[in-house]
Structure 1
């Protein structure tokens, strides 16, 4: 099993950062590679089982399911149902932690998955961390101030 991990320190409060992260259908608001998101299953974008269809800026399509949303822990877990990424069995958690001495926040984004056929675990992890996580978190810094 492979994994991907990225983290970052934010000057905004944990509450402000969490208000953005917890919006399962809000990825186009801050992820530079996602142009639209449509909720296609579930009654609410905050209820486990909700499915979103994301359209990338390159017109790629991603189907993802919300597995859990925990406001007390500030954690959102989702899984990829179908995507062009070189992964299978992908499950990921974004979690926001308060930083006591600065009033800022610490964000972690961690995933476990298998590499898709024809790809090594290292290639799959690089596609996730370098192709998705790093640019998304850089843009998130601009969206949350």
Structure 2
């Protein structure tokens, strides 16, 4: 399996960053490439099994399932059900931890996946990490 990773430090507290990042249906509020999100089944968006349908700013559609949401650990795990990405078996965890010396937060995003046929692991990783970087920058506009 291939992996993609991204991390970022925030000056806001881990609780403040987590309050925004934990909203499974809230991605359009902070990811610049996502314009809409709708819970299409499986719960209210905060319970494992919930499925969100994301619409990209380019009109693309993504279906993702919430696998786990752990407020005590400040982690959210989801998997792609279907998406126009060159990956299969994609599962990702977003994790927010406190940074003790500055009172801020450390956000890490980690995914495992298999590159789709015709795509190298490096190509898929570069694409995913660019999306994570844009998401972290967008999140920073809400919680610096």
- Is the TM-score greater than 0.5? yes
Any gaps of 5 or more consecutive residues in structure 1? none
Structure 1 outlier segments of 4+, above 4 Å: none
* TM-score (structure 2 length as normaliser): 0.98
After superposition, where does 1:1-145 map in structure 2 within 5 Å? 1-130=1-130, 132-145=131-144
CA distance in 1, matches of 2:43, 2:37: 15
Helix, strand or coil: the match of 2:134? helix
Any gaps of 5 or more consecutive residues in structure 2? none
- Alpha-carbon RMSD across the aligned residues, in angstroms, is 0.6
CA distance in 1, matches of 2:21, 2:140: 12
CA distance in 2, matches of 1:43, 1:97: 26
* TM-score (structure 1 length as normaliser): 0.98
The answer to whether the 8 Å contact 2:43/2:49 transfers is no
Helix, strand or coil: the match of 1:137? helix
> How many positions carry a matched residue from both structures?
144
CA distance in 1, matches of 2:114, 2:42: 27
